[in-house]
Amino acid sequence: MGSLLSTVDTSLTHAVSTTHVHMATTIDVLPTALPGWTQLAAVGVGAISGAAFAARRGFDVVGVLVLSVATGLGGLLLRDTLLQRGTSIVITDGRYLIIAALAAVIGFFFAGLVDRLEPVVVVLDALALGFLAAAGANAALAIQLPPVAAVFIGAATAAGGLVLRDLLAGIAPAIMRPGVLIAAAAFIGALVFTLLVVYTGIPRGQAQVIVVVVVFAIRVLAVRLQWRTRPARDLTDRIWDRWLVKPKKPVLPPILEPEPIPPSSVSTFSLPPDWDDTATFTRPPHWRSNDDDERDPS
């Protein structure tokens, strides 16, 4: 029995080690060029917009609190859940929940003010979006996940809060519908961060600042120029026509331009001046009609 267990154990460690990434048990804190409160601020901005969203839709106290926490902390929570490196930072660091609760209070009592300050909220949201995209991608790269996974984690960190908010509010997530360009901006931000860190090797703090600027520019341009994402377009028929089926065109003789008629040779026709419009035609007796034979065989 003992030998059986030991063989099982060794082989199990083999099986497990193929799926594990052996790294430190905590996610590295981003060595950022930005001060440490920026991540808290990014979370707070998301939480305020979530709380205002809930207040506008008539949720009660608990609803506003839950949606505020979900919108603000959802992205980081999703990141830490997927990366499986111990308890999420939003729970171990008590400041995150306090910020979200404060945001809920603001959203509950001052939803009207938040709505009136919409341009400010849009600007702050745009800044937070790029920040969170970089933070997510950085955490994935820190535990040595492949770059593709880092891009995904970055986009999920930035947009996860919005998805969670809509799920809890009982509506289909808005960022997956055609409309405002948020998730695509987050995706581009995570992509830029990963490319910068992996291929140029510039410090991650600087890369994050660049990503914040890029995503902010995309978001502001998208709002100003009203860029919108589009639903799927079916190109099958077009490709089918273009490449797969080539109908044989019949070879037609070239169409010749008719020769222009010289004006001198154009015949003109005019009725005689004594033409009587009202005259009726009577057949002369020596003309024969077609049905004369049947009527009169003689």
Partner 1 sequence: MSTPVIDVIAFPAAITITTVTFGGLSGALHATKRGLDPIGVFTISLLCAVGGGIIRDVLLQAGVPTFLVNPQYLGLAAVAAVIGFFLSGLVRLVVPLITVVDTLLIGSWVLLGSEKALAYHLGFSAAILMGVITANGGGLVRDLLCGEVPSMVKPGEWYGLIAIIAAFIFVGMVGVGLPIGVAEITTMVVAAALRIAAIRGRWHTPTAYDLWGNLEARMTAGVEESLRKRDETLRKNTQRFSDASRD
* Residues at the interface with partner 1 (CB under 8 A): 7-8, 11-12, 14-16, 19-21, 81-84, 140, 143, 145-149, 152-153, 159, 163, 167, 170-173, 175-179, 183-184, 187, 229-237, 239
Closest CA to 95 of 43, 137, 136: 43
Shortest Å distance, C-beta 190 to partner 1: 12
Shortest Å distance, C-beta 53 to partner 1: 16
Shortest Å distance, C-beta 81 to partner 1: 6
Nearer CB in complex with partner 1: 126/175:
175
Find residue 180's DSSP bridge partners.
Answer: 228
List the structure tokens of 61: 């106290």
Nearer CB in complex with partner 1: 109/240:
240
Query: How many angstroms separate the CA atoms of 170 and 205, rounded?
Result: 37
Query: How many angstroms separate the CA atoms of 158 and 48, rounded?
Result: 15
Shortest Å distance, C-beta 69 to partner 1: 19
Q: Do 195 and 133 contact (CB within 8 A), yes or no?
A: no
Closest CA to 137 of 212, 72, 66: 212
Nearer CB in complex with partner 1: 103/153:
153
Question: Reduced to 3 states, what is the DSSP secondary structure of residue 60?
Answer: coil
Q: Which residue has the tokens 């001052």?
A: 110
Q: Which amino acid is at 30?
A: L
Shortest Å distance, C-beta 163 to partner 1: 7
Residue 42 contacts by C-beta under 8 Å, 6 or more apart in sequence? 127, 128, 131, 132, 135
Nearer CB in complex with partner 1: 99/185:
185
Nearer CB in complex with partner 1: 49/194:
194
Shortest Å distance, C-beta 159 to partner 1: 8
Query: How many angstroms separate the CA atoms of 90 and 33, rounded?
Result: 21
Q: Which amino acid is at 175?
A: I
Shortest Å distance, C-beta 230 to partner 1: 6
Nearer CB in complex with partner 1: 17/292:
17
Shortest Å distance, C-beta 151 to partner 1: 8
Find residue 228's DSSP bridge partners.
Answer: 180
Question: Reduced to 3 states, what is the DSSP secondary structure of residue 225?
Answer: helix
Closest CA to 78 of 190, 153, 165: 153
Nearer CB in complex with partner 1: 7/26:
7
Nearer CB in complex with partner 1: 64/143:
143
For residues 158, 160, 163, 169, the Cα torsion angle rounded to the nearest 10 degrees is -110
